[in-house]
Each structure stands twice: as C-alpha cells, then as structure tokens.
Amino acid sequence: MTHRQVSAILLAGGSSKRFGSNKLLLPLGGYPMIEHPIQRFRSAGVTDIIVVTGAYDEALQNAGLSSVRFIRNDQYESGMSSSVRVGIKALPTDSEAVFITPADLPLFSVQTVQALLRSMGHHSAIIPVHRGKKGHPVLISRKAATRCLSIVSEKALYDTLLEFESATVFLDVEDEGILMDVDLPEEYDRIRTRYDSLYPNGFQLATGNEKLKTEP
C-alpha cells in the first residue's frame, strides 16, 4: 500500500462546549493546535487530509492550515459519528485506507502513523494502544470505512469498530500522545508542557506555509 492511497480525516466539527472556546486554533509551539496532527500525517507521507468542520467552519477555513480539504458537517450537533460519515463520503475513489482522529490530539508521533501504515496488511482496522489504553488515530480499510456509513453509535470510534469489525487488531506503541486530547483548559496546559519537553527546538513542519509562523 502506498501513501498516495491512504487518506486522513480530522474530526473538527464540535463546538468545544466543555472547553468554552474554539480550542483547535489555540497556539501550540507557534502554530494552531490543529496544525500539529495535520503535519504528523503529512510527515508520514499522507497527503490527502480532510478536515470535517461544523461549529467553527469559517474560522478553521480562514486559519491558513496547510493543504487540507474542508468538508462542513451541517449536522455536527448530532454527534461525532455524523462527522465520521461526512468525512468517509468525501474520500477519493482510490483511497484504500483512512486514518480517523479527533482534531484535538496534537501530540501523536509521526512514528506511530508510520507504524500503523506498516501494520495494515489485510486487517479491517488497527487501533494504537499505549499501556493498555486505546487511542487515536485509528487506521481502517476502505471496506470498513464504507460499513461505518451505517453506524450511528456515539461510542468511541475504536469501541464501535470492535463491535462491527472482527479483523480489528491492536498495535502497542510507546506514544502517550495517542491518548492526549484536549477537552478542558487544564488539559491544554498539560499538552503545552508535554510539547515543550518533546520539541525544545520546535516541531519541523513537513511543508512551508507562509501563513504560519516558522519555528526557530
């Protein structure tokens, strides 16, 4: 499987009610937080990246994010599964597999994305696991993605996959970032502290976008 045949969907439709504001555009290392998962995929060779928007559609589209496709989910208030379906419907016909992740996980590593790609094989889905806890991004086959179009459950995506896809496997990774999402302000503070320890000299972007601040 080549990277040109793999897409990524970032779920960015929510209104960040628990956080209290648009968390995805908060700064992290000089960039909007949502730019980080985009760059992890791009650095691993995944170039077809879909951002499913909703409550903050206009703000996200005007944020100068690097080479992504925006798809608005008009039904975002009905839950994350609706954004999953909108993203899957937007997949190119030649995509053989797709990463899916909430957009508020900025610290999963490029190495984790690469490891998931190497492990795909004939599996329906691969779920990364760190110290016994399931995380994101998940990688699912095109066939599994098509079956997800009928799923309306608001369980975590990996729990839904375990119910519907018998060929789901787990991949142990030494990457705490697969578990570190941002729902509350204190979690954002934790993310910033962790980012500074991981990237004291900044994270090198996979592409130079003049609209974004460059790291020193």
CATH number at residue 146: 3.90.550.10
Beta bridge partners of 52: 11, 71
pTM over 0.85: yes
Structure token digits, residue 31: 């960039």
Look at residue 179 and tell me if it is in a domain. yes
Within 8 A by CB and 6+ apart from 121, the residues are none
User: Is the predicted pLDDT of residue 213 greater than 50, yes or no?
Assistant: no
User: Is the predicted pLDDT of residue 208 greater than 60, yes or no?
Assistant: no
Question: pLDDT-derived band of residue 210, with 50, 70 and 90 as boundaries?
Answer: very low
Look at residue 209 and tell me if it is in a domain. no
Look at residue 104 and tell me if it is in a domain. yes
Quote the number of domains for the chain.
Answer: 1
Within 8 A by CB and 6+ apart from 173, the residues are 109, 111, 112, 115, 128, 129, 130
Look at residue 37 and tell me if it is in a domain. yes
CA distance 133 to 126: 14
Look at residue 97 and tell me if it is in a domain. yes
CA distance 29 to 14: 23
Look at residue 177 and tell me if it is in a domain. yes
Question: pLDDT-derived band of residue 21, with 50, 70 and 90 as boundaries?
Answer: confident
Considering only CA atoms, which of 142, 128, 125 is closest in space to residue 173? 128
Is the Cβ–Cβ distance between 88 and 145 less than 8 Å? yes
Look at residue 205 and tell me if it is in a domain. no
Look at residue 186 and tell me if it is in a domain. yes
**Over residues 125-131, mean pLDDT:** 94
Decide which of 203 and 28 is more confident. 28
Question: pLDDT-derived band of residue 42, with 50, 70 and 90 as boundaries?
Answer: very high
**Average pLDDT value over all residues in the chain:** 87
The residue range of the domain holding 174 is 3-198
The reported pLDDT for the residue numbered 18 is 87
DSSP class of residue 178? Answer: G
Question: pLDDT-derived band of residue 199, with 50, 70 and 90 as boundaries?
Answer: confident
User: Is the predicted pLDDT of residue 17 greater than 50, yes or no?
Assistant: yes
DSSP class of residue 41? Answer: H
DSSP E strand stretches across the chain: 6-12, 27-28, 31-32, 48-53, 69-72, 97-102, 125-130, 133-134, 138-141, 168-172
- Give the three-class secondary structure for 158: helix
CA distance 140 to 167: 10
Decide which of 93 and 66 is more confident. 93
